[in-house]
Amino acid sequence: MKQGQFITVEGGDGSGKSTNLSFVKQLLEKSNINIIITREPGGTVVAEKIRKLLLDKNEETISEQAELLLIFAARAQHIHHVIKPALAQGKWVLCDRFTDSTYAYQGGGRGMDGKLIELLEHKVQSGLTPDLTLLLDIPVMIGMNRVKKRADLDRFESEKKLFFEKVRSAYLTRAENNPQQIKVIDASQSLKKVQKDIVQILSVLTDRI
Ligand code: Z5A
């Protein structure tokens, strides 16, 4: 049975998820919370292999359906081996991306059927959803400029601006429809201001324990 809290960090490319994950962990550890950091796609040996398949530029193109199924295959492994056992032990789980990414990238970006995503979510997660999601929202061009400095762009990072506009818009629609779970943070602010907002949101959660 679930006991710990499940927190996810979401956002478009260059929104600062990686930068802020360890900040969130440190913050929660100050409140004596036992927390693990993990990520999607990935988090287990098999799921990390699937991640590599998804992110690498392969000779053979990956169809949209194969991409969606691979993401949920990785998620099934991750939930079974990492997320559920940790929550059952009373640990908090801090995850870099989860199913909101699927609604944003595959649903919004690729235009895949939201009903199919919902069906897979239902089957694979059996009701497991994040208690809190920090959505780092950033205008596409600002995010892209931050990421552009990287040497090699992966399969997703190589998509065009329109794809990321659709991703952002799908994220914001999800946040509008799930205001209790998804808290939107303006990630174009300075890091100091972003982290101030994070502290404020998390203080509500830690006050409840
Ligand atoms: N994907 C999917 O399609 N469907 C799914 O269901 C799931 C995932 C789960 C891998 O994700 C890909 O998988 C992802 C979607 C797809 N594709 N993309 N693209 P990932 O999380 O591993 O990859 P990512 O989105 O590229 O994240 P990242 O590499 O970790 O970047 P980030 O977390 O968004 O940003 P960052 O590395 O923390 O920051 C980028 C730079 O900006 C860095 O130099 C920072 O120092 C700087 N930065 C950060 N914050 C600030 C502020 N506030 N001001 C100025 N500069 C800043």
- CATH at 135: 3.40.50.300
Mind listing the pLDDT tens digit for each residue in 186-209?
999 999 999 999 999 998 877 655
Query: For 107-136, what is the mean pLDDT?
Result: 98
Whether residue 207 is contained in a domain is answered as: no
Query: For 112-132, what is the mean pLDDT?
Result: 98
Backbone angles phi, psi at 162, to 5 degrees: -60, -40
- How many domains are contained in the chain? 1
Whether 156 is in the pocket of ligand 1, judged by its Cβ within 6 Å, is yes
Q: How far is the CA of 8 from the centre of ligand 1 (A)?
A: 13
Angle between helices 140-148 and 161-177 (to 10 degrees): 130
- Cβ neighbours, 10 Å, residue 55: 14
Q: What is the span of the domain harbouring residue 112?
A: 6-202
Whether residue 137 is contained in a domain is answered as: yes
pLDDT at 129 over 80: yes
Whether residue 1 is contained in a domain is answered as: no
Rounded CA separation 106/23 (Å): 28
Mind listing the pLDDT tens digit for each residue in 65-120?
999 999 999 999 999 999 999 999 999 999 999 999 999 999 999 999 999 999 99
Whether residue 126 is contained in a domain is answered as: yes
pTM score, two decimals?
0.96
